[in-house]
Chain A
Amino acid sequence: MAEIPQYVRIEIEGLQAQRGGKILFSQLSFSLQSGQIAVINGANGTGKSTLLRLIAGLYPPLSGTIDLSMATAQKTAPALENKNISLPRQGFSHYLSDKNAMKPQLSVRDNLRFWCRFFTDKRLGAGEEKKVLLRALDKVKMAAYADLPFAALSTGQKRRIGLSRLLTGARPLWLLDEPGSGLDQAGAALFSQICREHLAAGGLVIAATHTPLGLPADISLNLADYRPQTPEGQFYDPLQAG
């Protein structure tokens, strides 16, 4: 399993996004580095999911930039500015949406094995792959369910498996959309622990959520603060646009 590079930084600058022709937020800027977690708040429809999908690279923002950089050895921040390598977003992040990305008719093990191979460039040996899968399942206390078809699990169990996907391949940046939805208290505690370990290993987390994660947030953003305040700013009118 590949290791997370030692120092990672993501910089978001002047981001603006639309959905269905309506501007959701603009001038959104923040930066995050290894070991930090950003929590995105905001009512339904303020663009939390859209922001995560923009960062995941599913589609481009209207304006603004998302820069990712990493260094293999920990440096002081100013030095890093010069030496960092900007990365394409592919292969950099794990994106967890409200869906769990599992085939219902396949077994939990088959599902996780697929993602493990998908996220790992070099093919692992059979023994090593087994270990990775077992570890991922262990972390969410679901090892006993490995051979059941995914469809047979309850909502909370499905979410646990969805979360364990993040552990099948090393990615520095985790983009989590309502990670706690469907989880019971024990599941939420397990998830906080997984996040804590990821942060301790030098990872980054950007989570969009209504519910508290059980982790102290380094950055807390409310997207409602970034929405345009005038109707002119929200709706595109081709005859009025500058």
Chain B
Amino acid sequence: MKNLFIRDIKAGIKAGGAIGTSLLFFISVIILSPFALGTDKTLLAQAGPGLLWFFALLAVLLGLDRLFQTDKEDGSLDIILAAGDFSSLTVMVLVKSAAHWVSTVLPLIAAAPVLSLLLNPAWRQAAALTASLVLGTPAITFIGALGAALTAALPRGGVLLAVLVLPLIIPVIIFGTAASVALAAGTALQPLYFLLALTLFFGLVGPAAAALALKFTAE
């Protein structure tokens, strides 16, 4: 399974800069946001964590539709599906999601503190936001993997994936932003624990459901 992880990361890095595209999208929308909201410093500082969380969510979802589609197009998904039972497929989805997270989401998180500082020059908030993203974005990838599995067979699954997944990840957005605010303010860490619980929960449920979806929708 380390094997699959390495292949996906390599393919991701070499895939015509797909990683860079998500990152560029993320940076661009953040840079554009003052044009929509105005340059009021207090407003931007207050909106900062929410904006970053929201755009990170969109950037993650944008690339996720390719998670299984490339494998389906080149034929390797058939071989992986034929070779696996339910539990090994669940592990497979988990590994692919992890590879996607490392190759696509980690660069976003690396850029997040800089972007946060642009909106609000407070180190503490930047660090808190980054920590909340590290803990929470895996949940988005895991439940997004279910969306990717459901829409893998569809030619234009990208938008449908977002529509299917967005309602399901409302808790992640709620606790993600709350956790970053709580961390920055040094108040109770309750939302952080909820966020962690969500990531663990979706880490279990998302890949299992995605494996079911892939297995049942193979044709």
Verify whether A and B have any Cβ pair under 8 Å: yes
Q: Which residues of A contact B (CB under 8 A)?
A: 19, 53, 56-59, 88-91, 93, 95, 97-106, 110, 114-115, 117-119, 149
B14 and A106: CB pair below 8 A?
A: yes
CA of A93 to CA of B82 in the docked complex: distance in angstroms? 9
B78 and A105: CB pair below 8 A?
A: no
CA of A26 to CA of B118 in the docked complex: distance in angstroms? 67
Q: Does B7 contact A (CB under 8 A)?
A: yes
A95 and B10: CB pair below 8 A?
A: no
B76 and A105: CB pair below 8 A?
A: no
Instruction: Determine which of A89, A101, A110 lies in contact with B79 in the assembled complex, contact meaning CB atoms within 8 Å.
Output: A101
Instruction: Determine which of A19, A99, A105 lies in contact with B11 in the assembled complex, contact meaning CB atoms within 8 Å.
Output: A105
Residues of B within 8 A of A58 (CB): 78, 81-82, 218-219
A103 and B82: CB pair below 8 A?
A: no
Interface secondary structure of A, over-half rule: loop
6 closest Cβ pairs, A-B complex: A99-B75, A105-B14, A101-B75, A117-B3, A101-B76, A56-B82
A95 and B7: CB pair below 8 A?
A: no
Residues of B within 8 A of A57 (CB): 82
Closest to A98 in B: B75
B218 and A104: CB pair below 8 A?
A: no
A103 and B79: CB pair below 8 A?
A: no
Tally of chain B residues near chain A (CB < 8 A) = 24
Closest to B6 in A: A114
Residues of B within 8 A of A91 (CB): 83
Residues of A within 8 A of B81 (CB): 58
User: Nearest Cβ in chain B — how far from A196, in angstroms?
Assistant: 24
CA of A93 to CA of B16 in the docked complex: distance in angstroms? 33
User: Nearest Cβ in chain A — how far from B58, in angstroms?
Assistant: 25
CA of A59 to CA of B10 in the docked complex: distance in angstroms? 30
Closest to B72 in A: A99
A103 and B74: CB pair below 8 A?
A: yes
CA of A105 to CA of B70 in the docked complex: distance in angstroms? 11
User: Nearest Cβ in chain A — how far from B39, in angstroms?
Assistant: 42
Instruction: Determine which of B4, B14, B74 lies in contact with A101 in the assembled complex, contact meaning CB atoms within 8 Å.
Output: B74
A118 and B4: CB pair below 8 A?
A: yes
Which B residues, 54 to 85, have Cβ-Cβ distances below 8 Å to chain A?
70, 73-76, 78-85
Q: Does B15 contact A (CB under 8 A)?
A: yes
Can you sample 29 A-B contacts with CB below 8 Å? A19-B219, A53-B78, A58-B78, A58-B218, A58-B219, A59-B218, A59-B219, A90-B83, A90-B84, A91-B83, A95-B78, A95-B79, A99-B74, A100-B75, A101-B74, A101-B79, A102-B76, A103-B11, A103-B76, A104-B74, A105-B11, A106-B7, A106-B11, A110-B10, A114-B4, A115-B79, A118-B4, A119-B83, A149-B14
- A114-B3, A118-B3 are known contacts. Are A89 and B82 too (CB-CB below 8 A)? yes
CA of A102 to CA of B85 in the docked complex: distance in angstroms? 22
A97 and B16: CB pair below 8 A?
A: no
Residues of B within 8 A of A59 (CB): 218-219
User: Nearest Cβ in chain B — how far from A159, in angstroms?
Assistant: 12
Residue among B11, B80, B82, B219 with the highest chain A CB neighbour number at 10 A: B82
0/1 interface trace, chain B 73-112, chain A, CB 8 Å (1 if under)? 1111011111111000000000000000000000000000
CA of A89 to CA of B81 in the docked complex: distance in angstroms? 11
A95 and B16: CB pair below 8 A?
A: no
Residues of A within 8 A of B16 (CB): 105
0/1 interface trace, chain B 202-219, chain A, CB 8 Å (1 if under)? 000000000000000011
User: Nearest Cβ in chain B — how far from A103, in angstroms?
Assistant: 5
0/1 interface trace, chain B 1-35, chain A, CB 8 Å (1 if under)? 00110110011001110000000000000000000
A97 and B218: CB pair below 8 A?
A: no
Closest to A116 in B: B3
Residues of B within 8 A of A119 (CB): 83
B10 and A97: CB pair below 8 A?
A: no
B83 and A118: CB pair below 8 A?
A: yes
User: Nearest Cβ in chain B — how far from A54, in angstroms?
Assistant: 11
Residues of A within 8 A of B3 (CB): 114, 117-118
User: Nearest Cβ in chain B — how far from A47, in angstroms?
Assistant: 13
A110 and B83: CB pair below 8 A?
A: no
Residues of A within 8 A of B79 (CB): 95, 101, 115, 118
